[in-house]
Structure 1
Amino acid sequence: MFVVHLMPAGTQFEVPANKTLLQGALDAGVPFPNRCQIGACATCLCRLQKGEVNYHLEPMLTEQEKQQGWIFACQAIPCSDLVVSFEESDDY
């Protein structure tokens, strides 16, 4: 189980090691933007502030987006506790 902190609201929820960030949020009753849940629509795009994720299939992100920490929550599987945000700022 990994703990996810959703900023700036400070919402916290747990994600089992075998589930995606989005699945964990929805299972915990956390309202998380999503549509297709397969990485095609980018609705669940969020910014990884701290922690690490893995993917079964690498999402279509530019090199700049990757460097800025953007991830697809519907495809990202936590490898550690996470801090994520929908904001552009690094001030967390």
Structure 2
Amino acid sequence: MNIGLLDAMCRHALNAGYHVILEGILARSRYGEMLQALFHDHGGTSHGYYLDVSLEETLHRHRTDSPERGSRDRRSDTPVSSRAGDGGPAPKGWRRFRPRRSR
């Protein structure tokens, strides 16, 4: 259900003339088809950015983001490790970023 909802919200905002930023842990194996269709169907300019960060780095960033969060997402009890991206190459036409390890 959430994939369809994200798609509908993005399309509604784009059709109303807004710029849209869709951000999150969006594993290509799960969200890729929706994202590609959204890019394909959008008449304007689209940009995709793939943050290539290891699970270890993701957990490190979550631990240092805010003390109360720890390695769990503040919106749920789901461990970050169970929602991490699936790695692999960036989707076609997307820019890949490999940031340095945060301190």
Global fold match (TM > 0.5): no
- Normalising by structure 2, report the TM-score: 0.25
Q: Which has the higher helix share?
A: 2
Q: Which has the larger radius of gyration?
A: 2
- Normalising by structure 1, report the TM-score: 0.26
